[in-house]
Amino acid sequence: MASTEQIRATIEAHLAAVGAADATALADLYTPDARLHDPAGGPPVTGRTAIEQHFAGVLTEQRTMELVMVAIADHHAAFHFRATPAEGHTREVIDTMTFDDQAMITSMHAYAS
């Protein structure tokens, strides 16, 4: 089972990759058959390749990331962060994720303001 520290490290790597607008680094954090809902309630994006393509399409600029809060329970996490692009408004985001035993992301739901 993945430890709390391993899951937190994956979350921090996820935020760093979002901040750098690095779709490849983001996709590498997901299992090959992971499911992404971005935004939550939207159609699922399934599989690492499709997830990389999704992020490549939506992450068009770097941004400053601020992790506000993380809650981890077993293989699940919810976290709140702020994303501020150089030119634009800060977005408040809550992501929920599930993880496998190696702290790879198996599913993610994004809730943004």
Query: Do 81 and 16 meet the contact criterion of CB atoms below 8 Å apart?
Result: no
- Number of other CB atoms surrounding residue 31 within 10 Å: 17
In this prediction, residues 70-94 reach a mean pLDDT of 96
CA distance 53 to 81: 23
CA distance 81 to 57: 21
Q: How far is CA 79 from the centre of its chain?
A: 10
CA distance 82 to 76: 20
Q: What pTM, to 2 d.p., does this model score?
A: 0.96
Best CA proximity match to 94, nearest among 78, 73, 83, 71? 78
pLDDT at residue number 38: 95
The pLDDT confidence band at residue 87, using thresholds 50, 70 and 90, is: confident
The pLDDT confidence band at residue 51, using thresholds 50, 70 and 90, is: very high
The pLDDT confidence band at residue 56, using thresholds 50, 70 and 90, is: very high
Asked if residue 44 has pLDDT above 90, the reply is yes
The pLDDT confidence band at residue 39, using thresholds 50, 70 and 90, is: very high
Query: Do 45 and 23 meet the contact criterion of CB atoms below 8 Å apart?
Result: no
